[in-house]
Chain A
């Protein structure tokens, strides 16, 4: 009984802060989202997503951009994680540092860097033009591609570290065992290494997906006015249009769809076998 008192006392400050600045505002926002222009209760704001094609397209775009980001980070991160897993401890440290180093710089500045690089006058387009590979500059910015590039840069570190951590945990003698039983290196990868780092992939995918769904700065800077995603629209409604109820509804829609998709993904991944093998 008296064991719980110290726990209660120690957690009380953070609990109060959490309650005051997180849960309470959330609740107020939630109630606010059901208000219409006449300040009475209605589902009007939420019905927009069923009735107005503009908002439906924005929801789809947000999900689409996030899925592409997940896919590109996954494909790019895997080889890096594989390399880290077989490197020495010192090399692992160096690579981890290199991966995290860009995060020391504000995301705003990094995104402006991309704007300079990817723009029509940026060195990528200039080089391709002067080599004669293209006749007119490629559009790498202010479209979904630009947003995916920006988000990939922002979140790839999470994917690398999540996968690398699960690769570290694999006993290296397992690939030796597969090899002596007759499996080539490719075969060993697909039958042993890949299945065993599913928890890492799962963690990386969930993390990058949630972060991409709620990302604001990168889509705002690299998507421009033509490819707006949910967080950007919500921001506009609250800050420019001052339509707080609609902004709140947009935010909860974003939250709801992220939770829904992540839980659906979890359901698919966590098969009976997965639970038997990886549950601690």
Chain B
């Protein structure tokens, strides 16, 4: 039995279609062969998924929960500086792990093969204000299918930033850097509002009833999230007279998580070297073409194992975009082979340390503020 990936598109391309410039040197046959190689790579990981991988994700989850418990416990004494620092630090790390290595990846279905209802894309809810279901739609269904296709992939600038030359300039875009700087510390709200798809509603592709439902779900999620971090935790800390300090701590932890997530996610597709595409370019796209687009449209972050863990292995953005539903702990080994394939086919493989990639993404934010 074979699982058919939903993005399998028609074979055969209309004659004379322009390939993305980074792949212009490849013949159709080469692209087809490349597709086969990547399919085989995917199959080889699927064939060896097993108990070790299951133990990995459970270990990460247990670590995350221990950190979260310990962090909140320390915040009960937040008026003492060491407790505040330890508590805020542990809670921040817990939130980052929860959103990135656990939440993002579970919601992609990377662990569905285990058939564990406690770690499954259909049951998971994450410690993030946007409800999991709403995010799964805009992220998994839309962004991962239409990656970097200007006009189709709403993630190109998230409907508020101008992130591509092909997006028409308006004076509003002068604020690009300001908007981005303001977005970072409240990133989870940026995503939550983005997931409402207000632009789709305005253009009549989303009904009023659908928007209503989305707002209700978001409201319910927000109440719970806010009650936990901004009411329950400070209230419990009030017993030791630490309410105000605990509130400052949870605000700090959420903001720090937001800034980190924003930075990592902006390194995924915006640094120099990551291509964008036009709608005409993807017409009649084959499976091989799709793979090529994912590779040359994404950028990695190089770094230590801890770095990869804290980015939820989105530091392997290229591998993640090729195989969004393979377990994240396997991307490192996949990367070795993908890189080799890119070299052999003379395709760019964009990667760099975090500071360099962040700077590169910010440079684009500044440059595209101007026409």
Q: Are the chains A and B members of one assembly?
A: no
* Residues of A in contact with B (beta carbons under 8 Å apart): none
